[in-house]
Structure 1
Amino acid sequence: MEYRKFNNQYVIRIDKGEEICAKLKEVAQKENIKLAYLTGIGAAGKVTAGVFDTKEKVFKGHTWEGDLEIVSIGGNINTMNGETYTHFHISVADEAGNVYGGHLTEAVISGTGELVLTEIDGVVDRKFDEEIGLNLFEF
């Protein structure tokens, strides 16, 4: 991974074999980023993403492997109990043009990842909501 900062934006290249969530958390911790949003594209060989089951209050994931184009990745970085917290969603397409996605758990780069992380001046923490079963923004 390599990245460069321009004002409040980080242009990030994630390399083959590297995992997106881990690398973005690494950047956030190294640069002391407390609040940011993400956008990007790339190519992955393995992606695990899913949906939140609101009745069971658990994430149900799927894993896709092969040549996958990252059509879009987005989300945010903030804090929970003062620690770095990441929340990303992803859409990937296979060679047949089928698109899959959801809440991102893991994405291993197969070619490259081209991401832009925009830092926001401020702090928004998260707190677990018992009724919903998710870590929600706390203002």
Structure 2
Amino acid sequence: MKLLSTLLFTFFLLNNFSAQQKENCRYIKTPTGYLMVLRQGDDVLAKIENLAKTENIPSAGFTGIGFANDVTFGFYDFDAKKFKPKTFNKVEMGSLTGSIAWNEKGPSIHLHGVATDEKFNAYGGHILSLHVGTGSMEIYITLNDQKLERKVEQPLNANVLQLNCRQ
């Protein structure tokens, strides 16, 4: 009886661990990079940044689609040298495109997109924040073999991708 109880308990633990692993899994490796499937409430920029750190991605480009609970776009005001934010709720991201590079703080994510509301009005531009809504969001990451960096350039005070053309 004790052996049966131990076996049942072990099976229960393994089954729960397996289900928990599936629930927490947000990306898989592909031949060209990674595929992320994010779920409701996930912070998209944070998940991409975490992937870049965890997998030590030198640089990458990415695209995506999916549902957003909220997305904050920023229009860069060149005179004020800062973004003017505007947030939209319960939208569908018809297109996401971006890149992963590095700066002195760690991964630097640059993301643009187009969102549509229930009336098919479209909004787009630079994305400052993005959280997955009901459903999911799919992001396809294509790796580059060269590490790329971003640096703030003046007088614009803009974070610009740097190329090393000497290689």
Indicate yes or no: 2:41 matched with 1:36.
Answer: no
Q: Across the two proteins, how many residue pairs are aligned to each other?
A: 138
Aligned AA for 2:149?
A: D
Q: Is the 8 A contact 1:8 1:120 kept in 2?
A: no
Give 1:106's match in structure 2, choosing from 129, 132, 138. Answer: 129
Question: How big is the shift at 1:2?
Answer: 1.5
> Which ranges of structure 1 fall in alignment gaps of 5 or more residues?
none
Show the counterpart of 1:19: 43
What's the TM-score once normalised by structure 2's chain length?
0.79
What SS is found at the alignment partner of 1:104? strand
After the TM superposition, which segments of 4 or more aligned residues of structure 1 sit over 6 Å from their partners?
A: none
The structure, 1 or 2, with the larger RCO (C-alpha pairs under 8 Å, 6+ apart) is: 1
Cα distance in structure 2, aligned partners of 1:44 and 1:11 = 18
Cα distance in structure 1, aligned partners of 2:83 and 2:58 = 25
Equivalent positions of 1:1-139 (< 5 A) are 2-66=26-90, 68-81=91-104, 83-110=106-133, 111-139=135-163
Q: Which has the larger radius of gyration?
A: 2
What SS is found at the alignment partner of 1:22? helix
Give the strand-richer structure, 1 or 2: 1
Q: Alignment identity in percent? A: 32
Question: How big is the shift at 1:89?
Answer: 0.6
What's the TM-score once normalised by structure 1's chain length?
0.94
Give the helix-richer structure, 1 or 2: 2
Q: What value does the CA root-mean-square deviation take over the aligned residues?
A: 1.2
Cα distance in structure 1, aligned partners of 2:155 and 2:128 = 23
Cα distance in structure 2, aligned partners of 1:56 and 1:65 = 26
Cα distance in structure 1, aligned partners of 2:45 and 2:53 = 12
Cα distance in structure 2, aligned partners of 1:82 and 1:33 = 15
Q: Is the 8 A contact 1:50 1:101 kept in 2?
A: no
> Which ranges of structure 2 fall in alignment gaps of 5 or more residues?
1-24
